[in-house]
Amino acid sequence: MKDLQGKVAVVTGASEGIGKGIAGALAKAGAKVAILARSQDKLDATATELVGEVKGFSANLMDADDVRRVLADVVTYFGEIDILVNNVGGGTFKPLHMQTAAEADLPVGIPLTAAVAASHAVVPSMVDRRQGHIVTLTSPAGYVPFPYMMPYAATRHAMVGLALSLHDELKEHNVGSTLFCPAQVNTGYFDRNDADMGWYPRVSGVFPVLEPDDVGEQVVKSIKANKREVIYPLSLNLFLRTYQKMPRLSVLFLKLFGVWRPNPTR
């Protein structure tokens, strides 16, 4: 999809952070952008701040029926959806025995419920029109089973499967699917969530911290180039590809240099 001018795009979890950066980049590229999150007030503020045609739609993204309802509202307002960005996510980082039931359930409900329901809602029209693109975000935890974040890592692995499965299923219909994995992004995530940075893998410090607008620009590029999979930046790509080829040796290497385990603060 080389030209995004006038295309209808949906970004989940887009009132702030990565989603806001992606929505802004899509709007700058000429797309009409529907941003989805729970808080209508935050969505309205974001829509006002971004340059371009952007409208917020409040949704409970942990409720599949509500996701489908809101996407129907988007179609009524903007027209058929051409681009879906499965971005919404959440979760805490700590040993499983220290997590509450709500903390263990949240990373499963978000992003997987929203991504499956949203993809299911938009794909029939994309296939009928032989036009469309779905971007699904994951994290390095979707490739490497880091300890102390089991529900989060499990769901991020599921997002990898979702995106790559869709790619092979949809390509014969001229519909694209991109798996997008950025390094850590400067979103204030650890300030807004009960996610103790002390339990985060120390190896994350090896890679540059990205800005949301940078991620947004790379997502737009991946749509225009119809990329199957993007791991950004290059240093993270090399690390994850090495791990995929030699997982045991990679973990041994990380342990040797003391960056496999985190440094918990509590």
Q: Find the range with the poorest average confidence among 29-43, 164-178, 243-257.
A: 243-257
For residue 197, being part of any structural domain is answered with yes
pLDDT given at position 187 = 83
Counted domains in the chain: 1
Looking at residues 66-80, what average pLDDT do you find? Answer: 98
pLDDT tier, 93 (very low <50, low <70, confident <90, very high otherwise): confident
What predicted TM-score, i.e. pTM, was given to this entire model?
0.93
Quote the CA–CA distance of 18 and 137 in Å, as a whole number.
10
- The whole domain housing 50 covers 8-256
Asked if residues 215 and 18 have their Cβ atoms less than 8 Å apart, the reply is yes
Q: Find the range with the poorest average confidence among 87-101, 188-202, 247-261.
A: 188-202
Query: What are the b/e assignments for 103-114, b being 16+ CB within 10 Å?
Result: beebbbbbbbbb
pLDDT of 219 higher than 90 = yes
For residue 226, being part of any structural domain is answered with yes
pLDDT given at position 33 = 98
Any catalytic annotation for residue 152? Answer: yes
For residue 263, being part of any structural domain is answered with no
* Average pLDDT over all residues of the chain: 92
pLDDT of 264 higher than 70 = no
pLDDT given at position 195 = 55
- DSSP lists the bridge partners of residue 57 as 36
Q: What CATH number should be reported for the domain holding residue 149?
A: 3.40.50.720
Query: Which percentage of the chain shows pLDDT scores above 70?
Result: 94
Asked if residues 98 and 149 have their Cβ atoms less than 8 Å apart, the reply is no
- For residue 234, give Cα distances in angstroms to 40, 45, 72, 163, 182: 36, 34, 38, 20, 10
Single out the catalytic residue among 152, 200, 232, 243: 152
pLDDT tier, 259 (very low <50, low <70, confident <90, very high otherwise): confident
For residue 163, being part of any structural domain is answered with yes
Tens-digit pLDDT profile for residues 182-201: 999 988 665 555 556 667 77
Tens-digit pLDDT profile for residues 33-57: 999 999 999 999 999 999 999 999 9
For residue 261, being part of any structural domain is answered with no
For residue 264, being part of any structural domain is answered with no
Tens-digit pLDDT profile for residues 108-146: 888 999 999 999 999 999 999 999 999 999 999 999 998
For the chain, list the strands marked E by DSSP: 8-12, 32-37, 54-58, 83-86, 133-137, 176-182, 229-232
- Strands 8-12 and 83-86 come out as parallel
